[in-house]
Amino acid sequence: CSDEKSLVDDVRPAEEIFAEADFNAIEGDYVEAAQGYDEVERLYPYSTLAKTAMIRSAESYYRGGKYDEARLAAQRYLDFFPSDDDAAYAQYIVALTYYDQISDVERDQGDTIRARQALSEVIERYPDSDYARDAVLKRDLTLDNLAGKEMQIGRYYLGRGHYIAAINRFRRVVEQYSTTSQTPEALHRLVECYLGLGVTNEAQNAAAVLGYNYPGSEWYVDSYALLTGQRLGPEIDEESWLSRNFRKIVYGDQF
Amino acid sequence: QQGAAAAGARGPTVTDIVVLGNQRIEPATVISYLTLKVGDPISEAALNQSVRQLYDTGLFRDAAVAVDGGKLLVQVAENPSINRINFEGNDLISDEQMLAIISSRPRRSFTRAQAEADAQALIDNYRATGRYGAVVEPVIIELPENRVDLVFEISEGDVTEIYRIDFVGNEQFSDGRLRGVIDTSESGFLGFILNSDVYDPDRLEFDKQLLRRFYLSQGFADFTVLSAVAELAPDREGFYITFTVEEGELYTFGEFEVINSAPALDPEDFQALIPEGLTGQTYDATQVEAIIEDMVYLAGQQGFAFMDVRPRARRNEAERTIDVAFELVEGPRVYVERIDIEGNDRTLDRVIRRQFEIVEGDAFNARAVEQARGRIRALGFFADVDVRTERGATDDRAVIKVEVEEQSTGSINFGLGFSSAVGPTGEISIQEANFLGRGQFARARVRVAEDSQIVDFTFEEPAFLDRDLRLGLNAFYRDEDLDDESSYEITSIGFIPSIAFPVSEPGRLRLFYEISNDDIRDLDDNVSPLIQRDEGDKLTSAIGFRYTHDLRDDPIETTSGYFLTFEQTFAGLGGDAQYSRSVVSAKGWTSFFADDVIASIELEGGAVYSTRKDLEVNERFFIGGDSLRGFAYGGIGPRDQSLGVDGKKRDDALGGDFYAVGRAEVSFPVGLPEEFGIHGGLFADVGTLWGLDDNSARDTNVDSASNGLDITVDDSAHLRAAVGASIFWDSGFGPLRLNFAIPVKKQSGDETEFFRLTVGTRF
Amino acid sequence: CEPVYVNHGFAPQRAELDNIVAGQDTRGSVMRKLGRPSTVSSFDADTWYFAASKVKKFAFYAPEVIDRKVVAVTFNADGLVTDAKSYGLEDGQIIDLVTRRTPTYGREMTVLQQVFGNLGKFDAGQAFDPLSGGGSSGDPLGGG
């Protein structure tokens, strides 16, 4: 025998349940509000309110931090009303559910990639909606995060003296993420790597490209210092052994 | 379809589209799904394409497109909306788990095809657990407003067992022996307990490989499995399985040879890897594989990362020997293009990446990848670690994909415990084995028991100075009342920094320094004179090391292999205490019935020796409780039972300078479904504790009955033993273990302990 | 215990390098003779680099690069080899790496979130497990 779930349905008319959900939303009880909107959609799927309830449910779940439920509701809206005026907003909510969960570059970037795809959908399918403009900004930022992950792995190998592995990671940033804010640092790291290997002409090439494209950047100042012989050689490391290792253990720095 | 224009002729174009029969889906939405748009030419193909398109959305029960001159009439009937999904008849698997398997969801459109697919998914799920008789029927309950309730009616059927396993064509080895080789087992007396007696076609395939490996390692180079047939018994409750095999001839090893094509490699080094005296022994395929692995490793060591070692066996039928030539061939040069790590929502990339010895750009080496996988698993942060190698940008480049599934490594717990030895204990402890995802271990513990307060901080950084060097810092404050055991209280405060590093593949060394102060105070007025003399403060400054040799197959769920530890401490680097203390332990595991039954034997011993012969009670060993089940902590060993104040008999445990303990355990499933997580176990402990620097002292207590007399205590070794049973329960609270023990050999005055609730992982 | 030596990367032996002839060999022939380069110059891809290093690891000492060989094969505009230079460990510079990092977005894991993220995960393992704080003195709360 199956366990008896409450099979008694809420018999109130759709408008009443909807109004109660609205009230909850205004009060800030977003999750209750969303559940109320869901009931309207479940009991009266073909009422005119069902459509609005669906998008409101997605919005309330998102505000209440229930990202998975918000995505499910928004996706349902897109299945039924792909060309409706709220479709852009639904797609935007889907993007936000991933965007808000992006974690720092040293950890899994799955949400960054999914956010990127969903933001691209907003931009391509609803170009003139007022969400598209914000989606473009957010998408650039996801690109920056993906570049940041490559940089982090590059710095890991650089810190341990594996110059070739580091070079290939930094080259990926320069070639595939050239529009991001990470590129100047990537170029400087290439200078560091090539000098580490002793291939000075490559180091000069990298510094030249850095200086040409980002003349004002601090990274160019660092590269210039390296190429003019400063900050080279073992004896110039002023930071004490203790403070360097304290930074590494407590703040998790790479070097 | 009246009025469809003839194909090819300049037919009418679509002038208008009218949608009929839609309920919640708007015309604009329906039109957006059509391939035909206003102004397109009407053709038969376009019409069909549009109809199929409408069905593909899964939103429509049926759809038809008619043409009236230039006007398209799109007639649709929407699929009902799912109101509620219920499961009936599922006792073994919960509704939530069922919901996770199917893709239909409340408020989505119902389609017959999807419901059928869901039912099949549920049946496959039952099949995987061996329930071939399971039946799942999707049933619809019509509701007003074109809504439906979807109910899956389930009859789980019972487990299809294996009645008998037979072998045909096996002369060299008996059926019984071969049954021990394969994984599947008959449902016999133990059948109701073990789950390896359930028919599973994949396991049958695996059995074929096991048979082949077994025969090849016994010298039968021509062995083949002709067939493995499972027939369903007439009562449809179980299977008869028959393996037909052809053993072929018994072969022995012939000559060995190393053929080398790389100029820089010296064949002699590789020849040396072949153990002498192998010629003439029975042929063993696993031995050949081991030699190949050593050769590949040696080539790698000498910088030839792409060396392939290919064995070429030459059979001489007459003498029934096999000559094996190892051909060193320059293999394809495959590089590691990238190491990609996914699934690490909390653990930092570097904590996983640094387990790899190989680096991006290195030559690809399967053994190093396997080694890394083992190390990542041993971190203990992940429920599952999957390391796969995929083709990179070109076929001479490989991408190593690491996918981890994290498990909680932290706990904050308000422990309310009960241990018969110490009484009720209250505890607040915050522990995180993967602090901030950096693999650092951090634990802060405040423990308040009825008679002891402990504050303990531990922090460990596993990769100190970016090396394989674990820095450990431990500070503790302990205030304990040991009246029950030895009538005194002790306050200890200490700090123990340590470093640990690998010295070989299985071996790790931990060096530590300890500075601690112990204050033995508040002695009972009836305390034993042998403890009376230890009253007061004592500073201990000691250094030591702990060597571990880990050859277990899996550090978390060990089923085979062994684990040795040797710990040596020297006190006397300043401070008052001066002694040398050694503890050594060795534990071995083995398993039966496809790892369902796990047995282990452990031997442990310790000795503490002081040149000045002034060891104090807290510096001696105490065993009992967990270390010797069946006996309370401090329940055995030298004991002062002389007559104390007003004739009352003293009962103070004095500890001992030497101890030796043996523990044998076996654990097995108890037939309950896997979800309950309950296992049973039997154990037998045997041990002794003996030796005091000075086993006599003058009783100077004025009102003591034996005032002025010398009290001497028997500190010789007497064997104690106990047997017992335990129940393991992987509860939501964590792994609990209930021990019931009965001492079978004890001395008068020993304090036994029948029941102990301890919490620890199953070995 | 003796040190462990680990080889990284791949660089051609002296013998293989000798049969690369300037002016004749092309990218295709170099690929056949020496294999795929470890990396290619970053901006005009006219130089191929092959690099191999040998690292000595011993107990708790830091892994130490004891040998490194870098071979640079440069090609001219029409794809012929101009020259092949090799660099050793001694050419490498010791660099004071810049510790600054370009900021990125994304939720850092805070200590509180880490700790209270586990609230309720009662690990009874600690409640009765006698203190394994280590240290040599006899542990009054039982073995372990």
Query: pLDDT of B413-462, one tens digit each?
Result: 555 555 555 555 566 667 788 888 888 888 888 877 767 788 989 999 98
Q: What is the DSSP string of B97-121?
A: HHHHH----TTSBP-HHHHHHHHHH
Q: Residue B423's pLDDT is what?
A: 56
How close is the nearest chain B Cα to the Cα of A51, in Å? 8
| Residues of chain B by 3-state class (helix, strand, coil), percent to 5 | 15, 45, 35
The neighbours of chain C, by the rule of 3 or more Cβ pairs under 8 Å, are A, B
Q: Give residue ranges of C with CB < 8 Å to any A CB.
A: 8-9, 38-39, 41-44, 47, 49, 51, 53, 63, 65, 68, 70, 72, 87-88, 90-102, 104-109
pLDDT class of A117 with cuts at 50, 70, 90:
very high
Q: Residue B202's pLDDT is what?
A: 77
Q: Residue B189's pLDDT is what?
A: 54
Q: Residue B422's pLDDT is what?
A: 53
User: In this structure, what token pair is assigned to residue A86?
Assistant: 């709220």
> Inter-chain contact A198–C107, Cβ cutoff 8 Å?
no
Q: Residue B244's pLDDT is what?
A: 93
The share of chain B scoring above pLDDT 90, in percent, equals 24
B160 touches chain A (CB under 8 A): no
> Inter-chain contact C107–A104, Cβ cutoff 8 Å?
yes
What is the Cα–Cα distance from B424 to B417, expressed in whole angstroms? 6
Q: Residue B8's pLDDT is what?
A: 46
Q: Provide the chain A residues 6-45 that lie in CB contact (below 8 A) with chain B.
A: 7, 38, 41-45
Residue C71: beta bridge partners?
A: C50, C86
User: In this structure, what token pair is assigned to residue A149?
Assistant: 């992950």
> Inter-chain contact B496–C59, Cβ cutoff 8 Å?
no
Length of chain B: 763
Query: pLDDT of B323-377, one tens digit each?
Result: 999 988 877 778 899 999 999 988 999 999 999 989 999 988 877 888 899 889 8
Residue C124: its H or E element: none
Q: Residue B419's pLDDT is what?
A: 52
Sign of CA dihedral A237, A242, A245, A249: negative
Which of B682, B657, B691 has the alpha carbon at shortest distance from B583? B657
Chain A CB contacts of B344 under 8 Å are 107-108
Q: Is the pLDDT of residue C116 over 60?
A: no
* Among candidates A103, A145, A192 on the partner chain, residue whose Cβ is nearest the Cβ of C95: A192
Mean pLDDT of all residues in B732-755: 82
How close is the nearest chain C Cα to the Cα of B756, in Å? 10
Lowest mean pLDDT among A30-34, B585-589, B663-667, C39-43: C39-43
> Inter-chain contact B734–C36, Cβ cutoff 8 Å?
no
A159 touches chain B (CB under 8 A): yes
How close is the nearest chain C Cα to the Cα of A58, in Å? 23
> Inter-chain contact B361–A164, Cβ cutoff 8 Å?
yes
Across chain A, mean pLDDT equals: 87
Mean pLDDT of all residues in B723-740: 79
For residues C121 and B411, is the Cβ–Cβ distance under 8 A? yes
A160 touches chain C (CB under 8 A): yes
User: In this structure, what token pair is assigned to residue B118?
Assistant: 């869901």
Across chain B, mean pLDDT equals: 84
B470-481 and B489-502 beta bridge pairing: antiparallel
Query: pLDDT of A160-185, one tens digit each?
Result: 899 999 999 999 999 999 999 999 99
| ipTM of the complex in this document | 0.84
CB proximity list for A72: less than 8 A, separation 6 or greater: B105
What is the Cα–Cα distance from C6 to C65, expressed in whole angstroms? 9
> Inter-chain contact C128–B425, Cβ cutoff 8 Å?
yes
Q: In what order do the strands lie in the sheet with B307-316?
A: B252-260, B321-330, B307-316
Q: Residue B426's pLDDT is what?
A: 61
Mean pLDDT of all residues in A9-28: 86
The neighbours of chain B, by the rule of 3 or more Cβ pairs under 8 Å, are A, C
CA dihedral A30, A34, A35, A38 (to 10 degrees): 170
How close is the nearest chain C Cα to the Cα of A215, in Å? 17
Lowest mean pLDDT among A131-145, B73-87, B176-190, B443-457: B176-190
How close is the nearest chain A Cα to the Cα of C140, in Å? 33
Which of B706, B710, B694 has the alpha carbon at shortest distance from B654? B694
Chain C CB contacts of A240 under 8 Å are none
Q: Is the pLDDT of residue B235 over 80?
A: no
Q: Residue B335's pLDDT is what?
A: 87
> Inter-chain contact C125–B411, Cβ cutoff 8 Å?
yes
Q: Residue B735's pLDDT is what?
A: 67
Mean pLDDT of all residues in B119-132: 82
Of residues B114 and B303, the one with the higher pLDDT is B114
> Exposed/middle/buried for B327, CB within 10 Å: 0-12, 13-18, 19+?
middle
CB burial readout A123-156, b (16+ within 10 A) else e: beebeebebbeebeebbebbbbbbbbbbbbbbbb
The neighbours of chain A, by the rule of 3 or more Cβ pairs under 8 Å, are B, C
CA dihedral B435, B506, B508, B387 (to 10 degrees): -20
pLDDT class of B7 with cuts at 50, 70, 90:
very low
Q: Is the pLDDT of residue A236 over 60?
A: no
How close is the nearest chain A Cα to the Cα of C142, in Å? 33
Q: Residue B293's pLDDT is what?
A: 84
Chain C CB contacts of B540 under 8 Å are 136-137
B1 touches chain A (CB under 8 A): no
Lowest mean pLDDT among B4-18, B334-348, B651-665: B4-18
CB burial readout B220-231, b (16+ within 10 A) else e: bbebebeebebe
The 8-class DSSP code of residue C137 comes to: S
Query: pLDDT of B580-628, one tens digit each?
Result: 999 999 999 998 776 778 899 999 999 999 988 888 888 999 988 888 9
Length of chain C: 144
For residues A91 and A59, is the Cβ–Cβ distance under 8 A? no
> Inter-chain contact C41–A205, Cβ cutoff 8 Å?
yes
Mean pLDDT of all residues in B184-188: 70
Chain A CB contacts of B26 under 8 Å are 81, 84
For residues B345 and B370, is the Cβ–Cβ distance under 8 A? no
What is the Cα–Cα distance from B24 to A77, expressed in whole angstroms? 11
Hey, of C6, C16, C48, C60, which one would you mutate to test binding to chain B, going by the most B CBs within 10 A of its CB? C60
Q: Is the pLDDT of residue B558 over 90?
A: no
CB proximity list for B369: less than 8 A, separation 6 or greater: B356, B358, B387, B389, B400
What is the Cα–Cα distance from B105 to A69, expressed in whole angstroms? 12
Of residues B222 and A235, the one with the higher pLDDT is B222
What are the backbone dihedrals phi and psi of residue B298, each rounded to the nearest 5 degrees, phi first? -65, -45
> Inter-chain contact B464–A2, Cβ cutoff 8 Å?
no
Residue A143: its H or E element: helix A130-159
The 8-class DSSP code of residue B619 comes to: G
Q: Residue A237's pLDDT is what?
A: 59
pLDDT class of A146 with cuts at 50, 70, 90:
very high
What is the Cα–Cα distance from A203 to A127, expressed in whole angstroms? 43
Query: pLDDT of B366-410, one tens digit each?
Result: 778 888 998 898 888 888 899 998 888 887 888 999 999 988 777
Q: Residue B683's pLDDT is what?
A: 94
Q: Residue C141's pLDDT is what?
A: 28
> Inter-chain contact B29–A82, Cβ cutoff 8 Å?
yes
pLDDT class of A42 with cuts at 50, 70, 90:
confident
Q: Is the pLDDT of residue A188 over 90?
A: yes
Mean pLDDT of all residues in A112-125: 93
Mean pLDDT of all residues in B170-194: 74
Mean pLDDT of all residues in A182-211: 92
Q: Which residue does chain C place closest to A221, by CA atoms?
A: C98
Q: Is the pLDDT of residue B5 over 50?
A: no
What is the Cα–Cα distance from B604 to B598, expressed in whole angstroms? 20
Instruction: Tell me the one-letter amino acid at A235.
Output: E
> Inter-chain contact C43–A209, Cβ cutoff 8 Å?
yes
How close is the nearest chain A Cα to the Cα of C143, in Å? 32
Q: Is the pLDDT of residue B579 over 60?
A: yes
> Inter-chain contact C10–B335, Cβ cutoff 8 Å?
yes
CB burial readout B145-155, b (16+ within 10 A) else e: ebbbbbbbbbe
Q: Which residue does chain B place closest to A103, by CA atoms?
A: B345
Q: Residue B194's pLDDT is what?
A: 55
Query: pLDDT of C74-105, one tens digit each?
Result: 898 888 888 888 888 888 888 888 888 898 88
The number of C-beta contacts closer than 8 angstroms across A and C is 114
Lowest mean pLDDT among A5-19, B242-256, B492-506, C109-123: C109-123
Q: Residue B107's pLDDT is what?
A: 84
Residue B377: its H or E element: helix B366-378
Q: Residue A2's pLDDT is what?
A: 38
B126 touches chain A (CB under 8 A): no
Q: Is the pLDDT of residue A7 over 60?
A: no
